[in-house]
């Protein structure tokens, strides 16, 4: 009886080994392709709830397999933001707010090897709002800004693309003498150029 049991065990072990040889390993190495691109944006943005402004943005991103990217970006509002009406002590003169953002962005590219591709991304930023009134007194506040976006790119050649997108800027934690996060929230319409490893 023991001999038969031992024989069954040996046959079972042999069958398992043969089956393992025919199954593809779960952690089988796949193609890994690294790249890089730089991007310059120009954005028309909603700001102060009912006003329109312009934002210039620059970023550099590392790409993996032309699908995933991670990078750093910098944004600055380039138009004047008059916050005179929001200040708790209304100075009755124009007071311009300086608003800058810097942080990380993450994204995924759909159809990376096609002439037309799409990519959602999310940026997480440190932001600062600052103004001076009177000129000798400078007030500032640091806070968090998140910005999801959806973009479409046209890639006529492998190392260059142009595109457009729609984003929403969400500020968290701003409370600067009457200027609050909701005052700087808003939609962005953007156009951009990218130079780097776009597609094969």
**pLDDT, tens digit, for every residue of 43-99?**
999 999 889 999 999 999 999 988 999 999 999 999 999 988 888 776 678 889 999
Q: Within a domain: residue 177?
A: yes
Q: Within a domain: residue 18?
A: no
pTM (whole model) above 0.75: yes
Parent domain of 147: 32-80+100-126+143-196
**Per-residue pLDDT for 36 more than 80?**
yes
| CATH number, residue 186 | 2.40.160.20
**pLDDT, tens digit, for every residue of 73-87?**
999 999 999 988 888
Q: Within a domain: residue 171?
A: yes
- Report the number of distinct structural domains present in the chain: 1
Cβ neighbourhood burial of 27 (10 Å; 0-12, 13-18, 19+): exposed
pLDDT at position 144 is 98
Of the chain, the percentage scoring pLDDT greater than 70 comes to: 82
Q: Within a domain: residue 122?
A: yes
CA distance 13 to 115: 52
pLDDT at position 13 is 44
């Amino acid at each position: 009886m023991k001999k038969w049991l031992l024989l069954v065990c040996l046959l079972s072990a042999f069958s398992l080994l043969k089956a393992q040889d025919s199954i593809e390993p779960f952690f089988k190495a796949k193609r890994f392709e690294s790249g890089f691109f730089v991007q310059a944006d120009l954005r028309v943005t909603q700001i102060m709830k009912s006003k329109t402004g312009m934002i210039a943005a620059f970023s550099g991103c590392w790409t993996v397999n032309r699908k995933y990217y991670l990078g750093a970006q910098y944004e600055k509002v380039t138009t004047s933001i008059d916050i005179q009406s929001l200040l708790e002590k209304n100075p009755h003169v124009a007071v311009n707010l300086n608003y800058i953002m810097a942080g990380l962005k993450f994204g995924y590219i759909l159809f990376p090897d096609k002439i037309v591709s799409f990519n959602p991304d999310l940026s997480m930023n440190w932001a600062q709002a600052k103004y001076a009134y009177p000129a000798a007194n400078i007030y500032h506040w640091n806070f968090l800004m998140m910005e999801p976006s959806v973009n479409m790119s046209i890639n006529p050649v492998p190392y260059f693309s142009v595109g457009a997108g729609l984003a929403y800027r969400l500020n968290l934690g701003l409370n600067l003498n009457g200027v609050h996060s909701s005052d700087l929230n808003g939609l962005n319409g953007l156009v951009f150029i990218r130079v780097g490893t776009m597609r094969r």
